[in-house]
Amino acid sequence: MRLGLRLFLGFFLIVGVAAFFVMRVFVDEVKPGVRQAMEANLADTANVLAALAADDMKAGRIADGAFARNIAAAGSRHLGADIWGTRKDRLEGRILIADARGIVVYDSRNEAVGKDYSRWNDVYRTLRGEYGARSSAETPGDRQNTVMHVAAPILDGDKIVGVLTVAKANRTMEPVIARSQRNILRKGGWLLGLSALIGLAMTWWLSRGIGRLNRYAQAVSRGERASPPPRRRDEIGDLGKALETMRRELEGKQYVEQYVQTLTHEMKSPLAAIRGAAEILQEPLPEADRARFAANVQGQSERLTEMIEKLLALASVEHRRELGQRERTDVAAMVAEVGGELGPRVAQAGLTLDFADADRPAVVEGDRFLLRQALRNLLDNAIDFSPRGGRIDIECRIDGRDAVLRIGDRGPGVPDFAAERVFERFYSLPRPHGGRSTGLGLTFVREVAALHGGGVRLEPRDGGGTWAELSLPLAA
């Protein structure tokens, strides 16, 4: 059985079973609910009529007094009522009145006058000051059709002088019950149908995404060139992205080609300079020219060495998916340590470092060596771009659950056209004092920040210059 069909059947089974039990509960509760409501109405009616019949009962004219005449007149009325689709043309209740002994002295149908009802639960309990009600068969032996009797006391002061009972056949409410049950079943059927359509749509949507992933994985396993599934913003999309990433990492071709091509391009210039200087040095030269070309060879070789070292460091970080050994590091202590190491270079450039620490210790957790290297790269950039005799501002603050380290210079800033490219490999901007960097420093900082669950960004500084902002999660 295919996965899509299994998903649909599972969804429909869950919804169907739940809907069945819910509808079953509603249907089973309709009849008791309607009868409870009818009993409450009968209790209200009985108490009102008992108060109206009190004067005739005390005067001994309950059978032919004003109360009896009014009830007879009400019974002859044509109601013509349409109650929620149910036609009602006449009164359907019955009124019985028993004296203090339980003997029936009034019956709106003239069928039970003179009979002893003192043992019936409605009369018996009411005469004793309790709530009296009962349901009895409409005809002897008929358990299907019952009549509900609800009684109320007829009072003379605090004395009970009689009992008025209002009776109504339960079958009179059957149309209401049947209509309610039909509505529940009909709407439940619509619910099941709608649920089936939703389940079908959801199953198609999931199966479509899973099917694309399956076809893509099968094509990759056969060594075919296949396009990755369309991007989706859900777990299936994440899985497709992970498969594509896995494919690229396993093949490694694009990664290697990009590094080789870029590295070759970047190495051409210093190698050409070294080769040219070496050829000139083979000829007789004045000592000053010889020293200048030798220094050129040394400078270009140092540039190549720095490029290769940074490239290796960047490659090692890019291939790491998680940190190995973690240790707690105070950001202020790390800034002081790196600033001390760069002290001679800062002094040579005529710069000053101004560090503003956070109100409370900013402690992060991670690879201390990588964090120090990232901070050093940011400070190197600030030194390179700062004007002579300027100041580099370093700020540390706590923003929510992150420690934010900001390094600001007063250099020319980052041009708009380079704002999106400064984190690319080998992309660099000319330094104000001449020369270029390897273009790997900010890329390395970005990878280290991502490895620690943080981020890095550059933003213009008021009054000129750039803020480099490195954010790292605070240690627990």
Instruction: Please list the pLDDT of the chain residue by residue as tens digits (476 residues).
Output: 565 566 656 666 776 666 666 666 666 666 777 778 888 989 999 999 999 999 999 988 988 899 999 988 888 888 777 776 677 777 888 899 999 999 999 999 888 899 999 999 999 999 999 999 998 887 777 777 888 999 999 999 889 999 999 999 888 777 776 777 677 777 777 777 777 777 777 777 777 777 777 777 777 666 555 666 667 676 666 776 677 677 666 554 544 554 555 556 456 556 666 777 677 777 777 877 677 767 777 766 765 675 666 556 555 555 555 666 788 888 888 888 888 888 888 888 888 888 888 778 888 888 887 788 888 888 888 888 888 888 889 988 888 889 899 999 888 888 877 777 877 776 777 676 665 566 677 877 888 888 888 888 888 888 888 888 999 988 87
Q: What is the DSSP letter of 433?
A: T
Query: Residue 101 has what pLDDT?
Result: 92
Query: Residue 436 has what pLDDT?
Result: 58
CA dist 203 and 243 (Å) reads 22
Within 10 angstroms of residue 356's Cβ, the number of other Cβ atoms is 11
**CATH superfamily entry for domain 324-473:** Histidine kinase-like ATPase, C-terminal domain (3.30.565.10)
Ranges of CATH 3.30.565.10 domains, the chain = 324-473
Query: Residue 371 has what pLDDT?
Result: 84
CA dist 67 and 148 (Å) reads 22
User: 391-399 and 352-356 as β-strands: parallel, antiparallel, unpaired?
Assistant: parallel
Query: Residue 255 has what pLDDT?
Result: 47
| Architecture of the domain defined by 3-178 | 2-Layer Sandwich (3.30)
CA dist 154 and 161 (Å) reads 6
Enumerate the β-bridge partners of residue 393: 354, 408
Query: Residue 340 has what pLDDT?
Result: 83
CA dist 20 and 42 (Å) reads 34
SS3 content of the chain, % helix, strand, coil (to 5): 55, 20, 30
Ranges of CATH 3.30.450.20 domains, the chain = 3-178
Q: What is the DSSP letter of 474?
A: B
Query: Residue 331 has what pLDDT?
Result: 86
Query: Residue 260 has what pLDDT?
Result: 56
CA dist 164 and 71 (Å) reads 13
CA distances, 155 to each of 26, 161, 163 (Å): 41, 6, 9
Query: Residue 70 has what pLDDT?
Result: 92
CA dist 409 and 467 (Å) reads 7
Token couple for 246: 């896995």
CA dist 59 and 18 (Å) reads 62
